[in-house]
Amino acid sequence: MDQQTWIYLLVGVSFAIYIGIAIWSRAGSTKEFYVAGGGVSPLANGMATAADWMSAASFISMAGLISFAGYDGAVFLMGWTGGYVLLALLLAPYLRKFGKFTVPDFIGDRYYSNTARTVAVICALFVSFTYVAGQMRGVGVVFSRYLEVDINTGVYIGMAIVFFYAVLGGMKGVTYTQVAQYCILIFAFMVPAIFISMQLTGNPIPQLGFGSTMAGSDTYLLDKLNGLHAELGFAEYTDGSKSMIDVFFITAALMVGTAGLPHVIVRFFTVPRVKDARVSAGYALVFIAILYTTAPAVAAFARTNLINTVSNNEYSEMPQWFSTWEKTGLLTFTDKNNDGRIQYVADEEKNELAIDRDIIVLANPEIAQLPNWVIALVAAGGLAAALSTAAGLLLVISSSVSHDLVKKQIAPDISDGAELWIARGSSLVAVVVAGYFGINPPGFVAAVVALAFGLAAASFFPAIILGIFYQRMNKQGAIAGMISGLSIMLFYMITYKFNLFGETTSADWWFGISPEGFGTVAMIVNFIVSFVVSSRTPPPPQHVMDIVDNIRFPRGAAEATNVH
C-alpha cells in the first residue's frame, strides 16, 4: 500500500478504537466523570498517567527541540523526568489519601475557604489553557502533514475528536482511551527509533546506539554530529549556550511545575486505595522512562540524517518528503543566491532553509526512508500523544467549573445529573477556547507547554506542599501566595515572551532567567509571601490541623478518603 493509504488506515483504526472505548465506558455519574468511579487498576492507571503525561510536547516537540538545541535541550528532559519522580513520591499518595476530586477541591477544603478554592480554580484554568494550546498546536501539525490539510483545519478535526470522547466518557472514558493511546504512542515512538538506530549505528537499542560508533566507521555518532555542526557554523551539538543559572531555573520550574499540574494529579484519585496510587505512580514512571530515555537518541539520529540529506544538495533532487512538508508551511526554502542548492548554515544572512522544530520527529522516518507503515504509525502516535493530554486537560477545566465553582459555591444543592451536564457544557466551551489557542499559538509546542509548567510552579506547588507538610499554613497565606506567584509569572510571560509592552531580548531578562525558567522565581515569591502572611495571621482551626496530621500517616486511608 502507498503511504497515504497506510496513514488513513492506521489513523482511522486508532480513532475508531478511541471512540469505541468512549462509548463503552461512558460516564453515568459525576464520580465516573471526574475520577472514573475510583476503581481503575494500578496498571491501567499507570498507562493512562503515562499517556496523560507524554503529551505532544514529549512525543512531537521534545526530541525536535533537543535535535536543534543539542545540549541546551536537555533541560526539558531533566526537568520533566525529575518532576514526575517528585510528584509520585512527594505528593500523589498524600493527595489521594485526602480524597478530593480536584486540586481546587483539595485547596478549598485544606484552607477552609471558598476564596482559596476560587483562586485555585483561576490558577487551574490558566495552567490548563496554556498547556492545552500546545496540544492543539501539535494536533494541527500532525493533521496538516498526514491528512494534507492546513494546520487550522487539523486543529478543527482534533477539537471534534477530543470533544466527543472526553465529553461522552468523562474521566472513565478518557482513562481507558489513554491506555490504548499509550500503547499506540510508545510503539510509534520506538519502532522508527529502532529502525534508524540499526541504520546509523548497527545497534538495535536506540539508547545504546546514541553512544555508539557509526555503522562501518570508528567515528562516534556524537562526534560525527559535532563535526557536521562545525562545518555549517553551528555550535557543537554537545556544547550548551545557556547560562548555568538559566539551565538550573528552567529545570527547577519544570520539576516543581510537574508536581502542580492538575491534570496529572487527578489521575491518582482514580484508583481505589492509597497503596494503589503509589503502585500506579511506579508503573507510570517505568512507562514514561521508555520514551524519555529514547528521545535524545531520536534527536541525534534525526539531526544527523537531516543535515546529510539537505545541506548543500540540489533542491530539484530533494526526496518527496521535502516537498510534502513544504506544502504545510512548516519547512521553507528560499534560494538567496539562485544556485539551486540548499544552503543550510548558522549564518542567518546566508541560510536558505527554515525548519519548524516541531516537525522533526514526524519527518524523521521519511528522512530515513523507512517503510510507509512506519511513517503512518508515527502519525497515529503523534495524534495519540496530543489527544490524550488534551482530553485530560479539558476534564480539569470542566471539573473546575462544574464541581469547584457551581457545586461547591454557587449551587450546592444541584442534582448529580445537572452537574454532569454543566461539566459537559464546560468541556464544549473549553474545546473552543483550546482550538483558538491551537490556531494562534504563542510559540512552538514545547515552549508553550513549558510556560504552563511555570504557571503551575508559581501557583499550585507551594500551596499543595505546604498544605500537606505544614500544619500552621492558613488560608490567608495560601491565597496571598497563589495570587502573588501567579501574578508575577503572568507579568513576566506577557512582558518577555509575548512582548506586550514592546520588543524585548534575552538581555532584558531578570538575572538572565528566561520566561520558561521564571516559574522558579515566582514559586520562591509564593513561598515567601505564604510564610510571611500565615505567620502574621491566625492559625488554621484545630480540625484542619488534625486532617493535615492524619494524611501524612501511612495507615488510616479509609478514614481520610471514606473508601471502605
CATH of the domain at 548: 1.20.1730.10
- What is the average pLDDT score of the chain? 82
The count of structural domains within the chain is 1
**pLDDT tens digits, 414-435:** 887 787 788 778 878 888 887 8
The pLDDT of residue 18 is above 80: no
Residue 262 sits in which domain range? 3-561
How far is it, in rounded angstroms, from Cα 178 to Cα 171? 10
Q: 545 and 539 in contact (C-beta within 8 Å)?
A: yes
**Predicted confidence band at 172 (pLDDT cuts at 50, 70, 90)?**
low
State if pTM tops 0.75: yes
The pLDDT of residue 386 is above 90: no
**pLDDT tens digits, 280-331:** 888 888 898 899 899 999 999 999 999 988 888 888 888 888 888 888 778 8
**Predicted confidence band at 560 (pLDDT cuts at 50, 70, 90)?**
very low
- Distances 227 to 27, 68, 70 between C-alpha atoms, Å: 56, 15, 13
Q: What is the mean pLDDT of residues 242-253?
A: 88
The pLDDT of residue 25 is above 70: no
pLDDT above 70 covers what percent of the chain?
91
Cell of 344: 543550510
Three-state secondary-structure class, residue 514: coil
Cell of 460: 499550585
pLDDT above 90 covers what percent of the chain?
17
The pLDDT of residue 564 is above 60: no
- pLDDT at position 32 is 55
99-108, 214-223, 276-285: which is most confident: 214-223
Q: Which residues contact 219 (CB under 8 A, 6 or more apart)?
A: 213
148-157, 197-206, 231-240, 448-457: which is most confident: 197-206
Q: What is the mean pLDDT of residues 21-43?
A: 65
The pLDDT of residue 476 is above 90: yes
Cell of 181: 493511546
- pLDDT at position 563 is 39
DSSP β-bridge partners for residue 107: none
- pLDDT at position 300 is 92
- pLDDT at position 559 is 43
How far is it, in rounded angstroms, from Cα 370 to Cα 199? 10
DSSP secondary structure, 286-342, as one string = HHHHHHHHHHHHHHHHHHHHHHHHHTT-BGGG--HHHHHHHHHTSEEE--TTSSSB-
19-23's contacts with Cβ under 8 Å and 24+ in sequence apart are 19/161, 19/164, 19/165, 21/165, 21/169, 21/173, 21/176, 21/177, 21/180, 22/164, 22/165, 22/168, 22/169, 22/173, 22/177, 23/168, 23/169
**pLDDT tens digits, 481-505:** 999 999 999 899 888 887 777 888 8
Three-state secondary-structure class, residue 319: coil
**Predicted confidence band at 165 (pLDDT cuts at 50, 70, 90)?**
low
In the block, cell 534560494 appears at 335
Query: How far does CA 492 lie from the centroid of its chain?
Result: 21
Q: Which residue has the higher pLDDT, 418 or 29?
A: 418
Q: Which residues contact 372 (CB under 8 A, 6 or more apart)?
A: 1, 2, 3, 6
Query: How many helices and strands (H and E) does the chain possess?
Result: 24, 2
Q: What is the mean pLDDT of residues 29-48?
A: 69
- pLDDT at position 400 is 77
Which residue, among 539, 200, 263, has the nearest Cα to 192 in the 3D structure? 200
The pLDDT of residue 198 is above 90: yes
Give me the helix-helix angle, 151-201 and 114-146, nearest 10°.
70
How far is it, in rounded angstroms, from Cα 464 to Cα 90? 10
The pLDDT of residue 264 is above 50: yes
- pLDDT at position 201 is 92
Which H or E run includes 461? Answer: helix 445-469
- pLDDT at position 39 is 67
Q: Which residues contact 332 (CB under 8 A, 6 or more apart)?
A: 326, 353, 354
- pLDDT at position 167 is 65
Lowest-pLDDT choice from 20-24, 156-160, 192-196, 219-223: 20-24
**pLDDT tens digits, 503-554:** 888 888 998 898 889 999 999 999 999 999 999 999 999 988 888 888 876 5
The 3-state DSSP composition of the chain as helix, strand, coil percent (nearest 5) reads 75, 0, 25
